């Protein structure tokens, strides 16, 4: 089959509130990833940020997905946040060894860096990225504002990413910060998500956009408007963007993703998304 022009995914594949709206009644926890992968093209994979899974769990994830599905697992926070990439070669090697059964289904390893990671640490990032196998897809998400000031620091970061073919992950948190902080989920998201400028730059072939949605699905259209132009531009250039959709509590994330994807279909040629398993009597038929 021809490659997908764009990969659509969510921050997670397992959510208890999706039982009736997405998975379908009677779906077990073990079946959730399989049903998720029938609809979406990728998943962010936050679980590895908090703990390295067991080898048996990794093998189960492989069995639940098909060969065209992609994970974008975050590196463990022990490496990125606690050690700040310093003296972490052994920890990275151990992590990659455990994840080896899924190496051919990794869209990109996500190196999410804390706000404390500044320009002074850039050489540390450059050295760290040499520890990956050459064929590895990598994405880097920076949160320190020095990398968003359009000055020499940001230019040096972007130039290095371009030279090495590493994706700069783009956080678009404008929608969630525009929401009224009247619910616990929105308050929590506004406290935890970075409020950084949106710099829509593609430094490699798989630019990743993390769109943190407004809790009112209809309110997201105005914030998504620039992406209706930029994402098709990247596709036209031969790139394959990753569009990762979040909401404050992620309860309606599948519906928001479906809604935004349909808007993209009005501006560029994209394959149809498969019906959510909850609305499909035969959930075993894959869209691929």
The residues, any chain, with a CB within 8 Å of residue 5's CB and separated by 6 or more, are 235, 240, 268, 269, 270
Six token digits for residue 38: 């029938």
The residues, any chain, with a CB within 8 Å of residue 116's CB and separated by 6 or more, are 84, 144
Note the pLDDT of residue 287.
Answer: 33
Please name which of 95, 89, 18 lies closest in space to residue 276, comparing C-alpha atoms.
18
Q: Is the pLDDT of residue 286 over 60?
A: no
Mean pLDDT, range 255-279, rounded to an integer: 96
pLDDT bin (cut points 50, 70, 90) of residue 272 is: very high
- Whole-angstrom CA distances from 284 to 40, 85, 226 are 14, 42, 36
160: enclosing H helix or E strand: helix 152-164
Q: Is the pLDDT of residue 285 over 60?
A: no
Length of the chain as a residue count = 288
Note the pLDDT of residue 134.
Answer: 87
CB 279 within 8 A of CB 255: no
SS3 assignment, position 153: helix
Please name which of 125, 115, 127, 202 lies closest in space to residue 158, comparing C-alpha atoms.
202
Mean pLDDT, range 145-155, rounded to an integer: 97
Residues 251, 26, 51, 242: is their CA dihedral positive or negative?
Answer: negative
pLDDT bin (cut points 50, 70, 90) of residue 283 is: very low
End-to-end CA, the chain:
8
Please name which of 171, 147, 167, 158 lies closest in space to residue 239, comparing C-alpha atoms.
167
- The torsion angles phi and psi of 179, rounded to 5 degrees, stand at -80, 150
Mean pLDDT, range 160-171, rounded to an integer: 98
172: enclosing H helix or E strand: strand 170-172
This prediction's pTM: 0.94
Q: Tens of pLDDT along 98-128? A: 999 999 999 999 999 999 999 999 999 999 9
Q: Tens of pLDDT along 185-238? A: 999 999 999 999 999 999 999 999 999 999 999 999 999 999 999 999 999 999
Six token digits for residue 153: 């620091």
- The torsion angles phi and psi of 112, rounded to 5 degrees, stand at -90, 120
Query: Taking the domain 7-279, which CATH number applies?
Result: 3.20.20.410
pLDDT bin (cut points 50, 70, 90) of residue 265 is: very high
pLDDT bin (cut points 50, 70, 90) of residue 11 is: very high
The per-residue pLDDT of the chain, averaged, comes to: 94
Which residue, chain included where needed, has tokens 């969510």?
10
Q: Tens of pLDDT along 127-140? A: 999 999 988 999 99
């Amino acid at each position: 089959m021809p490659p997908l022009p764009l990969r659509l995914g969510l921050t997670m594949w397992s959510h208890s509130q999706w039982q009736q709206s997405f998975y379908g009644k009677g779906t077990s926890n073990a079946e959730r990833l399989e049903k998720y992968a029938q609809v979406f093209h990728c998943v962010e994979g936050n679980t590895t940020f908090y703990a390295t899974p067991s080898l048996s769990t990794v093998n189960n994830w492989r069995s639940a997905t098909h060969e065209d599905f992609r994970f974008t697992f975050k590196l463990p926070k022990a490496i990125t946040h606690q050690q700040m990439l310093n003296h972490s070669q052994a920890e990275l090697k151990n992590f990659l060894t455990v994840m080896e059964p899924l190496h051919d289904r990794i869209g990109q390893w996500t190196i999410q860096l804390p706000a404390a990671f500044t320009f002074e640490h850039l050489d540390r990032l450059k050295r760290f990225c040499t520890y990956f196998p050459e064929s590895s897809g990598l994405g880097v998400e920076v949160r320190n504002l020095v990398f968003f000031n359009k000055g020499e620091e940001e230019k040096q970061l972007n130039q290095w990413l371009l030279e090495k073919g590493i994706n700069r992950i783009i956080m678009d948190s404008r929608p969630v910060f525009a929401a009224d902080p009247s619910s616990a989920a929105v308050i929590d998201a506004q406290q935890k998500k970075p409020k950084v400028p949106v710099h829509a730059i593609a430094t490699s072939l798989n630019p990743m956009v993390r769109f943190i949605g407004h809790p009112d699905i209809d309110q997201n259209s105005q914030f998504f408007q620039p992406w209706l132009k930029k994402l098709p531009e990247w596709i036209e250039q031969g790139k394959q963007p990753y569009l990762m959709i979040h909401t404050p509590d992620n309860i309606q994330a599948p519906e928001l993703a479906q809604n935004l994807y349909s808007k993209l279909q009005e501006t560029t040629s994209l394959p149809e998304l498969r019906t959510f398993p909850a609305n499909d009597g035969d959930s075993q038929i894959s869209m691929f």
